[in-house]
Amino acid sequence: MLTVGALCAGVTAIRFAVEGEFHAALLLILLAAIMDGLDGRLARLLRSESQIGAELDSLCDFVNFGVAPGLIIWLWALQDMRSAGWIAVLIYVVSCLLRLARFNIGNRAIDKGAEKSGFQGVPSPAGALLAFLPMFVAFALDKPQPFNDGLIALYLAFVGAMMIGRFRTPSFKKLSFQAEYVRYVFVGFAALVAALLAYPWATLVALDLVYASIVVVSLFRRAPKPADLEVEEDLPDGH
């Protein structure tokens, strides 16, 4: 149900973007990302994992984090570029598709009992949030479009390339803390939620920059062995 709900959020985000309601469109994509992060965990908790569920999840991710972000950014900034802007959108969308196809192949090929600690390339939900960085900045500054359209197109294509890259990015799924630090983690999480409520766009800009910094560091690290890569990807890593 969460997977279907996430799909509905992503498709509705496209509708809001067509109507010019870009704030609402971004919030719906964020909601879809949160639901995507919860559906796999809930399925494992309820022991209701299935092959059809995994396939539906990938299909919905393609819409929510591939098609929808590409169309939203096209409607927001790239229409005036016409074919050049559309090429950037296609590069991003096709890259997301290839990313998910590679994930599906790896999900079947790699032994799930193996120890896995990371991903290859930027996962699709994180890629969508990175792609929205120019919009987050614009909304944080309360400006309609502070960037050159060509730069946005190049950036969108670059994010697409990052999704199909072969470099290692970390997984936060198995992140754990010692008991004495748990209280500080809760305080930090509460502070993050408060910041998102008070300054949503500025906080999202900060989160994007932090994750981008992690990706940059990953670019300079040795490529992982296939067995070290996480097969099952959820928010904030995603598929």
Of 97 and 166, the one with more pLDDT: 97
In the prediction, which pLDDT does 159 show?
A: 97
Contact 158, 199 (CB under 8 A): no
**β pairing state of 118-120 and 168-170:** antiparallel
- With CA atoms as reference, report the closest residue to 212 among 130, 138, 136, 134: 130
CATH number of 2-228: 1.20.120
Residue at 213: amino acid letter: S
**Would you say residue 111 has pLDDT above 50?**
no
Burial state string for 75-109 with b = 16 or more CB within 10 A and e = fewer than 16: bbbbeebeeebeebbebbbebbbebbebbbebeee
In the prediction, which pLDDT does 176 show?
A: 63
Per-residue model confidence as pLDDT tens digits over 179-235: 777 788 889 889 999 999 999 999 999 999 999 998 888 777 655 555 445 444 444
DSSP lists the bridge partners of residue 169 as 119
In the prediction, which pLDDT does 121 show?
A: 86
**Would you say residue 54 has pLDDT above 80?**
no
Per-residue model confidence as pLDDT tens digits over 63-103: 999 999 999 999 999 999 999 999 999 999 999 999 999 88
DSSP secondary structure code for residue 231 in this structure: S
Burial state string for 212-224 with b = 16 or more CB within 10 A and e = fewer than 16: beebeebeeeeeb
The pLDDT confidence band at residue 42, using thresholds 50, 70 and 90, is confident
The pLDDT confidence band at residue 239, using thresholds 50, 70 and 90, is low
pTM, full prediction: 0.86
Contact 214, 221 (CB under 8 A): no
Domain ranges of the chain: 2-228
High-pLDDT (> 90) share of the chain, %: 58
The arithmetic mean of pLDDT across residues 17-42, rounded, is 92
Please state, as a whole number, how many other Cβ atoms lie within 10 Å of the Cβ of residue 174: 9
Triad 184, 234, 105: Cα angle to 5°: 150
The arithmetic mean of pLDDT across residues 36-55, rounded, is 74
Of 108 and 59, the one with more pLDDT: 59
Which residue matches tokens 């279907």?
4
